[in-house]
Amino acid sequence: MKELFKHKTALFSLSIIATLIFLALFAPYIALYDPFEIRVDQILLPPSLKHPFGTDLLGRDVFSRVIYATRISLEVSLVAVGISVTIGTFLGALAGFLGGIVDLIICRFIDIMLCFPTIFLILAVVAYLEPSILTIMIVIGITSWMGVARLVRAEILSLKERDFILAAKLYGASTFRIIFKHLLPNALPPILVSASLGMGHAILIESALSFLGIGVQPPIPSWGNILIEGKETLEIAWWLSVIPGLAILVTVLAFTLLGESLQEILNPKKEK
């Protein structure tokens, strides 16, 4: 933990993430206007003191919408990563610890899932469902656990031959107990790293889906669906396409940098 605050990149990305969480939690107090309020008399106003990020096609305040969208994006990616880390850790631990036929089946399953381009798989599933925030959380979660599963499997494989596991076995600990009490806590560092990288990935996918019209549905604001209007008004309203995109870039960058610095801190062998 101490090292985390000494590491400059980690500190930088953590402060961005802290700011984002703050914005998300206190969105109602920070937003200047109701993000859903339509004002026909204030359509497409450029950024000004009254509307720092301008207004959109329906006269809604873009600043307030971008702040609320932070909440939505973080929510979606947090739940999606929660799902993918849970599935990945479970299957990875099972494969690594049990080995043999179970390992073979899970590894093949991972290979097969990796053959599907994520966007295509998500599109195919979403086509059968009503697009909603819950749908995309689940769909992103169940299509992005493979990396975690491979990581955990590799980690468990190298851990399970160690003496302290042998000791636990001799002591008569159950398989369940060995996995959850002894193996997983030691496999936590790489899981944390991939969770942080996964947050960035989930935000990118969520915004891409929303931009394509099958993610978060208007009027609920999302950085991706604000950009839809940005595309329609490319010639006249630059703020509608520049600002939400910048928000995505900064957020994903923060989570990616955090993941990378965590890797450096937790795995000193690879220190550059």
Partner 1 sequence: MFNFLLRRLLTLVITLWGITVISFATIHLAPGGPLSPLTEFNPKITPEYRERLVKMYELDKPWYVQYWKWLKGIMRLDFGKSFALDHRPVWDKIKERLPVTLLINSLSLFLILIFSIPLGVFSAVKAGTLLDRVITLFTFIGYAMPSFWLALLLMMLFGVKLQILPISGLHSVIGYSEMSFWEKLWDWTKHLICPLLVATFGGIAGFSRYIRNSMYEVLRSDYILFARAKGIPERIVIYKHALRNALLPLITLLGLSIPGLIGGSVIFETIFGIPGVGQLMWQAVMSRDYPVIMANLFLVSLLTLFGNFLADLGYALADPRIKLSRRK
Say how far apart CA 268 and CA 236 lie, in whole Å.
51
CA distance 56 to 62: 6
Q: Is 230 in the site for partner 1 (CB under 8 A)?
A: yes
Contact set for partner 1, span 178-217 (CB under 8 A): 200, 204, 207-208, 211-214
CB of 231 to partner 1, least distance (A): 6
Q: Does 235 bind partner 1 (CB under 8 A)?
A: yes
Residue 256 binding partner 1, by CB under 8 A: yes
The least CB distance from residue 103 to partner 1, in Å, is 11
Contact residues for 203 (Cβ-Cβ < 8 A; gap 6+): 73, 76, 77, 248, 251, 252, 255
Which of 121, 188, 192, 220 binds partner 1 (CB under 8 A)? It is 121
Q: Between residues 10 and 42, which has the closer beta carbon with respect to partner 1?
A: 10
Q: Of 5, 22, 48, 111, which lies in the binding site for partner 1, with binding defined by CB under 8 A?
A: 111
Q: 64 vs 241, which CB is nearer to partner 1?
A: 241
Q: Does 130 engage in binding with partner 1 (CB under 8 A)?
A: yes
User: 265: which residues sit within 8 A by CB, 6+ positions away?
Assistant: 3, 4, 7, 10
Terminal-residue alpha carbon distance, the chain: 20
- Report the residue number, 42 or 62, with the smaller CB distance to partner 1: 62
Query: Does residue 108 belong to the site contacting partner 1 (CB under 8 A)?
Result: yes
- In contact, 151 and 194? CB cutoff 8 Å: yes
Q: Please return the burial class of 125, using the count of CB atoms within 10 Å of its CB with bins 0-12, 13-18 and 19+.
A: middle
CA–CA dist 157, 165 (Å, integer): 12
Min dist. Cβ of residue 229 to partner 1 (A): 11
Closest CB 248 distance from partner 1, rounded Å:
5
Q: Is 120 exposed, middle or buried (0-12, 13-18, 19+ CB in 10 A)?
A: exposed
Task: Identify the residue among 4, 125, 168, 220 touching partner 1 (CB under 8 A).
Answer: 125
Establish if 257 lies at the interface with partner 1 (CB under 8 A).
yes
- 120 contributes a contact to partner 1 by CB under 8 A: yes
**Side-chain half-sphere of 263: how many Cα atoms within 13 Å?**
14
Residues 6 or more apart whose Cβ sits within 8 Å of residue 143: 113, 116, 118, 121, 122, 125
Q: Which is nearer to partner 1, 6 or 272 (CB)?
A: 272
* Residues near partner 1, by CB under 8 A: 108-109, 111-121, 123-130, 200, 204, 207-208, 211-214, 224, 227, 230-231, 234-235, 238, 241-242, 244-245, 248-249, 252-253, 256-257, 260, 272
